[in-house]
Amino acid sequence: MHPIYFSHGYREREAPFAAFFGGLMAKVGFLPSLDPPSNDVNSAKLERHLSYTSGLVAVLSNRDTGPSPHILYEISMAVRCGKPVLVFVEDSIEDSVIPKCVLTKRFSEKSYIRETIDHLYALQSLSIYIGKDQLPRYRGFEGQRSCILLGESRLNKELKASIKKILINKGYSIKKLANSRNELPISISAQSEIQNTNLALSVLTNMSASDAYVLGVIRSKLIPTITLSIGDFPEIRGVPNEYQRKIISNREIENDLQILTAQIDLYEEDFIQIDSTHKAEQYANKLALSNTQGHYTHEFRTNIIQEITMGDRYEAGQVGAQGPNSHAHDMNFNQIWNQNRGSIDIDKLKEELGTLRTTLQVQAKSAEDFKEIGDVATAEIAAQNGNGSDALKALSKVGKWSLGVAEKIGIGVAIAAIKTASGF
């Protein structure tokens, strides 16, 4: 089966479209690949993922503000490097949004299910074009993973040395292109080195003509690229902030290195694959029922990925569990508690949860209210026993009613714990 970069919206209205087309992709032998839980994203991460897939399928729906700029960026990324692309475009979107060179199929909000045969045929056509077997990436020589630096002469010596040290510590060799005389076009040796590199780091400020040429070659080959600029730099119109170049000062070394390290860490994050129609539908339906208007917390998306897309094998960062009887959510709350125990006094939490439980009992009316009181009581008992992770686990089940009451009576530690556990 072919892994396919699956680009779709996360708004409530868009989730049924994602479920439908994700299911059709599975029917033709495609493995929809999705961005896993992450607090941020950058272009290098998307480029790395796209390079491992056989093509891109996008579902471009309309919004009050127009089509998603993130999805448009992903489409442009695939077009740039010549990856096979199929875009399902809602019929209310203007023709000028997607270039004529891109394979498209229109769908209607009210009749897309009745048009299943047409949509399935479009996916089958893409599958036939891609072929039966996924071709491996051609590389004449494979060595240690590597990074090409462009424009580094603009950096001060201390920052440049520190950047190289970070890359080396992360296991990258620093490549110097065999193009020492800045010849254009670049030599065959330089082309080969670009083809076999893993990452490029480019400082765009006052870039030389030779470096600009090499950057163009790198971008056309879909080499994941982190772009930096010193001081202000005009933004690229229509491109979301996540994919714009990152601004560094070239003076505040520690801050600049934090920016760079964060970008490299994002690049190294992996994607996950949905391997069945059933899971694709579950994934999108969970999004549709979330009532979050397209704004998802890290914890919310983590839970969906764990529960739906990864079956009995759960992983979240460096925390994981295996087997149908494993409890990754418990392990996640251990991690969350360890990260927040310094700001949540468990003795104070115990007292405030008791106060909250008593107040809720007076105000409760429905069966749902009493169930929520039970969750608060469970958290209170866990706190009494000094078990912070179990307290957070119980609080993750309470709703906005409990939080609202806690805010009204001003119990700050309980409020912080509920927000931490539930992602409110």
The 10s digit of each residue's pLDDT in 99-137 is 888 999 999 998 998 999 999 999 999 999 998 876 676
Nearest residue to 35 via CA among 48, 19, 17: 48
Contact between 90 and 108 (Cβ < 8 Å)? yes
Lowest mean pLDDT among 51-60, 333-342, 358-367: 333-342
Residue 187: pLDDT band (50, 70, 90) is confident
Calculated CA dihedral for residues 301, 304, 307, 310, nearest 10 degrees:
-70
DSSP 234: P
Long-range contacts of 260-264 (CB under 8 A, 24+ apart): 260/163, 260/166, 260/201, 260/226, 260/228, 261/166, 262/40, 263/42, 263/44, 263/226, 264/166, 264/167, 264/170, 264/199, 264/226
Other CB atoms within 10 A of residue 91 CB? 12
Residue 275 or residue 300, greater confidence: 275
Residue 393 lies in a domain: yes
- CATH classification at residue 90: 3.40.50
Are residue 260 and residue 280 in the same domain, yes or no?
no
Tell me how far CA of residue 364 lies from CA of 374, 404, 415, in angstroms.
11, 13, 19
Are residue 27 and residue 121 in the same domain, yes or no?
yes
Token pair of 74 as six digits: 């992903």
Other CB atoms within 10 A of residue 123 CB? 22
Are residue 55 and residue 159 in the same domain, yes or no?
no
Are residue 211 and residue 253 in the same domain, yes or no?
yes
Alpha carbons 248 and 260: distance in angstroms, whole number = 9
Alpha carbons 215 and 249: distance in angstroms, whole number = 22
Are residue 386 and residue 367 in the same domain, yes or no?
yes
Q: Which residue carries 């078990």 as its tokens?
A: 387
Residue 141 lies in a domain: no
Alpha carbons 166 and 257: distance in angstroms, whole number = 9
Are residue 168 and residue 112 in the same domain, yes or no?
no
Are residue 151 and residue 101 in the same domain, yes or no?
no
Q: Which amino acid is at 249?
A: S
Question: If you average pLDDT over every residue of the chain, what do you get?
Answer: 81
**pTM listed for this prediction:** 0.64
Are residue 6 and residue 123 in the same domain, yes or no?
yes
Q: Does 185 sit behind a cis peptide bond, omega within 30 degrees of 0 on the bond before it? A: yes
Contact between 421 and 392 (Cβ < 8 Å)? yes
pLDDT at site 307: 54
Residue 317 lies in a domain: no
Residue 190 lies in a domain: yes
Are residue 252 and residue 349 in the same domain, yes or no?
no
Q: How large is the average pLDDT for residues 292-305?
A: 49
Lowest mean pLDDT among 4-18, 68-82, 310-324, 337-351: 310-324
Q: In what order do the strands lie in the sheet with 246-248?
A: 173-175, 146-150, 199-203, 225-230, 246-248
Residue 323 lies in a domain: no
Residue 75 lies in a domain: yes
Residue 319 lies in a domain: no
Domain boundary among 216, 250, 268: 268
Residue 11: pLDDT band (50, 70, 90) is confident
Are residue 21 and residue 61 in the same domain, yes or no?
yes
Are residue 260 and residue 153 in the same domain, yes or no?
yes
Q: How many domains does the chain have?
A: 3
Are residue 62 and residue 158 in the same domain, yes or no?
no
Domain region containing 167: 146-268
Question: Per-residue pLDDT tens for 56-92?
Answer: 999 999 998 899 999 999 999 999 988 999 999 999 9
Residue 150 or residue 36, greater confidence: 150
Q: Which amino acid is at 192?
A: S
Residue 322 lies in a domain: no
Beta bridge partners of 321: 314
pLDDT at site 248: 92
